[in-house]
Amino acid sequence: MINLVLPESLEKMRSDIKAIAFSLLRPIARKYDEAEHVTPVELEVLRRRPSEGKKNKKDKKTPPEKDTGMLPSTNLATIIALEEMCWGDVPLTSSIPGYGIGNAAIAAVGTEEQKEKFGGKYTAFAITEPGAGSDTGSLVTTAVLDGDEWVLNGEKIFVSAAERCEAIVVWATIDPSAGKAGIKSFIVEKGTPGLTLDHLERKMGFKASDTGAFVIKDCRIPRENILGDPEIKKSKTEGFRGVMKTFDNTRPIVATQSVGVSRAALDFTKEKIEEDGVRLDYNQSPNSLSSVEKEYYLMEAHLEAMRLLIWRAAWMADNDQFNTLEASMSKAKAGRYGTLITQKCCDILGPLGFSEEYLPEKWMRDAKVMDIFEGTGQIQHLIVARNIMKLSSRELR
């Protein structure tokens, strides 16, 4: 079972990272919300160096933490650190040089050679197309093997880190007639002929993160740049599972972003209502609580549920357990309630939640995207239902 007592090392890490979020991210959050597409130069101090992307071969031999008996938790540690950074600012956290969402794909299904070569690069993740969003099985970008090279053709939209990345993980089909079994992912380095950044998007929120669209025309990459098995499996489920493993890693990450911004909104709301004389007392009877207190306690309960679902999914990944159900549960819960919590905080704050003098209105705009990207909430509910009911995508649409 998951141990809910964090080891001392993770607690210290959490405290240290919150200090960085408070001193570095929070002060410039509004600046880059207003200056969309401007590179946050202040984040260069956090850039990951190439050596950090290399796999530590001693990880499997590292002894358990002394105070818990738990094995070192790479995914759980990432989740805990990310929550603190996103408490500072979500889009700025997503803009830290060297930490693209494509790096999670390489970590999930890349070979040791690919992790060594590309693990230190700032890697974007390109899956969405004009005609294929949450239904990843319907994408039409193609990859054709020509000698020792793959030739890619297609279009990708809503790619995070589109302008600032150094490489991109591109999803494409190597055989359209094979359906999902033919879908693979490929590493394309920025600057490769045939890969063109068409434009950057202007968005409601999440503005510090550069989001753009790529046109891919006769783009040639080395044969070894395919992620995972190049063979098309007879079983569609088996063939697609390796690709979808990426989402099992990234969905808890997106869910954690929602927890971070929701917690920021709750902390600010608590500060302001206490300034107005409301004293939160957890020992009071529910019948004696004010409307504001009830709303606040309910939001806190949802926040804790979001966090525990994410921790469970991350813990399972660290212990090599199949976590598709748990990853989608965490994403569905956090995406939905992150939106609701930030909205409700703005309701409670009144004019303070509407004014650009403070950050809650920004947090509300930023939170919405967490219910959309990496698979919408509706898609997550479908995945959860299919896993619980043991039904295929064809049987339950």
Which of 112, 361, 374, 395 is the catalytic position? Answer: 374
Q: For 300-305, which contacts have Cβ atoms below 8 Å and span 24 or more sequence positions?
A: 300/266, 302/333, 302/337, 302/340, 302/341, 303/259, 303/262, 303/263, 303/266, 303/337, 303/341, 305/333, 305/337
**Which tokens go with 325?**
């159900």
Active-site residue flag, 374: yes
Contacts 24+ apart (CB under 8 A), 17-24: 17/81, 17/84, 17/85, 18/84, 18/87, 18/88, 20/46, 20/84, 20/85, 20/88, 21/84, 21/85, 21/86, 21/87, 21/88, 21/89, 22/88, 24/88
Tokens representing 171 are 């999803």
For the record, the structure tokens of 343 come out as 């909205």
| Active-site amino acid positions | 374
